[in-house]
Amino acid sequence: MKVDNKIKIIFAAQFSDPINGMILINRLFFHHIASTNSYEIIKFDLGNGSPASIKKLVLRLKPIFKLCYYLVSNYKRKNCTIFYLSVSHAAGMYFEFIPWVISSKFVNLRIMHHHTYKYINKKSCLMQVMQKNKNTKNIFLCEHQQIHFNNLYKKSNSYLNDYILSNFFYFQFLNKNSLSHHLKPCGPQIQIGFLSNLQIEKGIFELFEIVRIFKNDTRVNFSIVGPVHDKKIFKLLKEFDGYSNFSYSGPLYGHDKSKWFEKIDIFLFPSHFDSFPLVLMEAMFYGSIALSTNVGCIPNLNLQEFIFNKENYVESVINFINSFLVSNEFRDLAKSKNRNYFNEIFNNSLNIDSDIIEIFKI
């Protein structure tokens, strides 16, 4: 039902399956804004997937044209309007460029939500143009992302219109179970897990190198979870069929994924390129010690001894696992620190509703 006295938000983002971290965040953020009942929200699903064929290209362009038409027709109604855009990771930005540029003439305020480092690690001409208009606010995942973005696009005066919205904020909506404050006991065999797409950029070769070091070591068990789209990587998995302490389960979702996390003692995240992965938070939530590379916003979490440089990740993880195996004192201290880190970061991320109100203030 239309409510004339409410500010209108044209909320444009990717919502469609197949789901990934960004799409999950889009869904959670949309539902949170809608639940405030403070705005009239018009939702536009910008689609998902690479336009690899003419048919897929048409499917991607259709919602873009609908959005452009709505932006123009909305202006004729003289409504007080906000245009919110969740920027895509890759090719989707080329489609989103069109309505974003058009919107500068037809809305009162534009909000751009950044989920990636792809146009921050390397400058994008499209993003340069998209940032030219003055009636724009930016939402970043962390201060590190904000600083690098503003330095790259020379936006030295934009900090008053910048907001930090950590992905930890959404975690309260993902897990209905109360946070467990007890330390998860280890069984006779240390369970080491990896859950992500099995891709080179996710550090799959580094993972395989670690598994080889502990080949058939009965003190540890490696459980690998996630989809494989690369035939070469799928063939490499066959090498580990003969390992007594290795299993690959394919992708897991929902309750099955939660049960998997409950068994994991050490979670490996050797990614070469990431922003603010939800899977890292999930691991910590279930009491798993998350050992990550120092990419994207991860260093801002201040996890200290659980974050390693990409260049020496394998060596650092091997040393950590060996210490974890031989020293009960090291093991207990690591678990305690992991829980304390999570509690501190999670609690600090909860009370930011006032910031969200400020973001959508015209």
Q: What is the pLDDT of residue 266?
A: 97
Tokens at 260, concatenated:
């998997």
170 located within any domain: no
**pLDDT reading at 10 higher than 90:** yes
Residue 115 lies in a domain: yes
Asked if residue 49 has pLDDT above 90, the reply is: no
> By mean pLDDT, which of 176-190, 202-216, 254-268 is the weakest?
176-190
Mean pLDDT over the full length of the chain: 87
CA distance 66 to 44: 9
Helices (H), 153-199: 171-174
Q: What is the pLDDT of residue 3?
A: 46
Same domain for 234 and 155?
no
Average pLDDT in the 276-295 region? 91
The domain that holds 76 is classified in CATH as 3.40.50
Tell whether 36 and 146 lie within a shared domain.
yes
Q: Tell whether 342 and 194 lie within a shared domain.
A: yes
> Is-cis flag, bond preceding 18, omega within 30?
yes
Q: Which two tokens mark 53?
A: 């064929």
Q: How confident is the model at residue 2 (pLDDT cuts 50, 70, 90)?
A: very low
Q: Do both 155 and 216 map to the same domain?
A: no
Q: Tell me which of 213 and 16 has the higher pLDDT.
A: 213
Any idea what the CATH number is for the domain that residue 216 is in? 3.40.50.2000
**Residue 175, domain member (yes or no):** no
pLDDT in tens, 323-355: 999 999 999 999 989 888 888 887 777 766 667
* Residue 155 is assigned to a structural domain of this protein: yes
Residue 281 and residue 150 share a domain: no
**215 has a pLDDT exceeding 70:** yes
The answer to the question of residue 251 being in a domain is: yes
Position 358 in a domain = no
Same domain? 130 vs 230: no
Is residue 223 within 8 A of residue 260, CB to CB? The reply is yes
42 has which bridge partners? 10
What is the separation of C-alpha 284 from the centre of its chain, rounded to a whole number of angstroms?
15
| Main-chain dihedrals φ then ψ at residue 148, nearest 5 degrees | -65, -35
Sheet with 289-293, edge to edge strand ranges: 246-248, 220-225, 190-195, 266-269, 289-293, 307-308
H/E element holding 99? helix 92-103
- Together in a domain, 141 and 217: no
Angle between helices 278-285 and 328-348 (to 10 degrees): 120
Residue 177 lies inside a defined structural domain of this protein? no
pLDDT tens-digit map of 55-86: 777 888 899 999 999 998 876 665 679 999 99
Whether residues 209 and 342 fall in one domain:
yes
Q: Is residue 44 within 8 Å of 66, Cβ to Cβ?
A: yes
| Domain end position, chosen among 125, 148, 165 | 165
Residues 230 and 158 occupy one common structural domain: no
The domain boundary residue, chosen from 165, 181, 211: 165
Q: Looking at the 3D structure of the chain, how many domains does it have?
A: 2
Identify whether residues 153 and 207 lie together within a single domain.
no
Domain end marker among 130, 165, 200:
165
Are 269 and 135 contained in the same domain?
no
Residue 247: how many CA atoms within 13 Å on its side-chain side? 9
Contact 277, 271 (CB under 8 A): yes
Predicted TM-score (pTM) of the model is 0.87
pLDDT band, residue 92 (cuts 50/70/90): confident
In a domain, 92, yes or no: yes
The whole domain housing 133 covers: 7-165
